[in-house]
Amino acid sequence: MTAVPVARTRPESAVVAEATRRRTFAVISHPDAGKSTLTEALALHAQVIGQAGAVHGKGDRRGTVSDWMDLERDRGISVTSAALQFAYRDTVINLLDTPGHADFSEDTYRVLAAVDCAVMLLDAAKGLEPQTLKLFDVCRHRGIPIITVVNKWDRPGLAALELMDEIQTRIQLKPTPLTWPVGEAGDFRGVLDRATGGFIRFSRTAGGVTRAPEEHLTADEASAQEGAAWTTAVEESELLELSEQDFNAETFLAGTSTPVLFASAFLNFGVGQLLDRIVDLAPAPSPRLSVSEVERPLDAPFSAFVFKVQAGMDRAHRDRLAYVRVCSGVFERGMVVTHSTSGRPFATKYAQQVFGRERSTIDRAYPGDVVGLVNAAALQVGDSLYVDEAVTYPPIPSFAPEHFVVVRAKDSGKYKQFRRGITQLEQEGVIQVLRSDLRGDQAPVLAAVGPMQFEVAEHRLAGEMSSPVVLDRLEYTTARRTEAEFVPALNSIPGVEVLERGDGVLLALIRDKWRLGTIRREHPEILLETLVAGGAE
């Protein structure tokens, strides 16, 4: 991992200067749009790695360093990474990893709480896909500006103007292309740079594993060499201009327009443009609002919040990492911070950066950076940490679960391990745990946004926590928040059951939407509130 030079002048101003040169973002996409490939290409372009394939360990270079990764490899999912940090031009880029599979959309939501910008990656042949739409909604909800990348332009796909139409009509986001492809999908020659009117020509490298060379040509040279493909690109770009689809910083930051780039992550085409645009356009970290809506200045004493907790990543260590995003001040490894939830001190002796199989020690971090705190048994997703002046950042809301199972220890002699394991998974946010007096502690209900979360829970309980379990599916498909006064009435309705989630929220599990409709009609007085939707709400 590239060492990032740090300024050592006056501490207050240095923090703001360091924050200003940070760009913290995540790539969101439907599975298979090319997120891992793009991540590799970005790292390659910034020369963090020598060859594509090194970060995620694709193909035969893929390694197994944890129990997790066996499961990840078998199922083709990625849940262990955190953030890749690298220096590019005069900035420090933090690329936060998001799980690719829709079943882990709650984790993605948490990661999005920690970024300042998102890159929405589309497959040129498929356009907007269900998971893209869902993730886009999350970004809109959080007010995160989005840069759109149309990927796989080296393969046949939809017409570029058609894709722009789709973005505009389906998600009401005005696309403002920064580059425009020269050559239709499947015949990717390069891009028209709409700001300069020049042509950026890409050339292939063997297997796309090294940085693709770029050649900059004038419009006249492009016209002479590319002929009709160039003319079409120019004409289409003019059409965009007529419909006022030129970049607008204000609407981009407000989340109502999206700059668009065309790329082939696989061939490393257009990746340099993306990095440059992230540096030039994506917002730097800004002061974050506390739960009481007070802004904590960037150069206030250190503060951060936990957006992800992960355990069982390393067979040898069985450690637990809490990933925090720094919001203000300087993090220095070894400093003692206060855990806002408990008021207790937390020593940060071990601090790491984790991406793919790579782990390295972090000694110092600034606003926008991600730090993995080791042995963080007390820290949970959403918790705040600070020094000096107290601050609590808003909690990260939990999603409405849509899948439910009853979980029991297979071996009743292992009840202690079972309880400990369930609590740990709950604290990490792997799964929601629901309890009620009726069901008792021996057989709580696990609730998930996607069923693959159960697989992860089952796998980890059996392996790492030595407590094999039996899961029994429950027939509920939806959950609504309610209040204690409505519990007796709800529990008396067939196909409804109220349980308490770990965060104290009372959830009414309901068999189906039809039943929900009936209850709403027949008992309008009962509170049945919709939670943040991860799924089909």
Q: Does 155 bind ligand G4P (CB under 6 A)?
A: yes
In the complex, the smallest distance separating the C-beta of residue 264 from ligand G4P, rounded to whole angstroms, is: 4
* E strand or H helix that includes residue 520: helix 513-522
Which of 246, 236, 232 has the alpha carbon at shortest distance from 187?
232
Name which position in 22, 152, 296, 460 contacts ligand G4P (CB under 6 A).
152
Subset of 10-39 contacting ligand G4P (CB under 6 A) = 29, 31-37
Q: How far apart are CA 320 and CA 7, in angstroms?
A: 31
Partnered with residue 179 across adjacent β-strands are: 193
In the complex, the smallest distance separating the C-beta of residue 80 from ligand G4P, rounded to whole angstroms, is: 14
Pairing of strands 146-151, 117-123: parallel
Token pair listed for 250? 């204000």
Which residue's CB is nearer to ligand G4P, number 138 or number 509? 138
The one segment of 258-266, 366-374, 459-467, 471-479 that binds ligand G4P by CB under 6 A: 258-266
Which of 121, 118, 110 has the alpha carbon at shortest distance from 140?
118
Q: Does 111 bind ligand G4P (CB under 6 A)?
A: no
Q: Does 266 bind ligand G4P (CB under 6 A)?
A: yes
End-to-end Cα separation, the chain, in angstroms: 41
Determine how many CB atoms are found less than 10 A away from the CB of residue 530: 11
Which residue's CB is nearer to ligand G4P, number 78 or number 257? 78
In the complex, the smallest distance separating the C-beta of residue 265 from ligand G4P, rounded to whole angstroms, is: 4
SS3 per residue for 383-443: CEEECCCCCCCCCCCCEECCEEEEEEECCHHHHHHHHHHHHHHHHHCCCEEEECCCCCCCC
Which of 456, 446, 417 has the alpha carbon at shortest distance from 70?
456
- 312 three-class SS: coil
* In the block, residue with structure tokens 């042995």: 375
Name which position in 57, 100, 421, 535 contacts ligand G4P (CB under 6 A).
100
Which of 116, 139, 115 has the alpha carbon at shortest distance from 29?
139
The one segment of 149-157, 192-200, 271-279, 367-375 that binds ligand G4P by CB under 6 A: 149-157
Pairing of strands 22-29, 91-96: parallel
In the complex, the smallest distance separating the C-beta of residue 341 from ligand G4P, rounded to whole angstroms, is: 34
Pairing of strands 532-533, 399-400: parallel
Which residue's CB is nearer to ligand G4P, number 61 or number 473? 61
Q: How far apart are CA 438 and CA 156, in angstroms?
A: 57
In the complex, the smallest distance separating the C-beta of residue 357 from ligand G4P, rounded to whole angstroms, is: 16
In the complex, the smallest distance separating the C-beta of residue 407 from ligand G4P, rounded to whole angstroms, is: 29
Name which position in 81, 94, 105, 151 contacts ligand G4P (CB under 6 A).
151
Residues in Cβ contact with 130 at an 8 Å cutoff, skipping those fewer than 6 apart:
30, 102
Q: Does 154 bind ligand G4P (CB under 6 A)?
A: yes
In the complex, the smallest distance separating the C-beta of residue 340 from ligand G4P, rounded to whole angstroms, is: 35
Subset of 419-458 contacting ligand G4P (CB under 6 A) = none
In the complex, the smallest distance separating the C-beta of residue 56 from ligand G4P, rounded to whole angstroms, is: 8
Which residue's CB is nearer to ligand G4P, number 35 or number 308? 35
Interface with ligand G4P (CB under 6 A), residue total 17
Name which position in 1, 2, 16, 58 contacts ligand G4P (CB under 6 A).
58
Binding mask 452-491 for ligand G4P (x = CB under 6 A): ----------------------------------------
Residues in Cβ contact with 208 at an 8 Å cutoff, skipping those fewer than 6 apart:
52, 264, 266, 267, 268
Q: Where along the sequence are the contacts to ligand G4P (CB under 6 A)?
A: 29, 31-37, 58, 100, 151-152, 154-155, 264-266
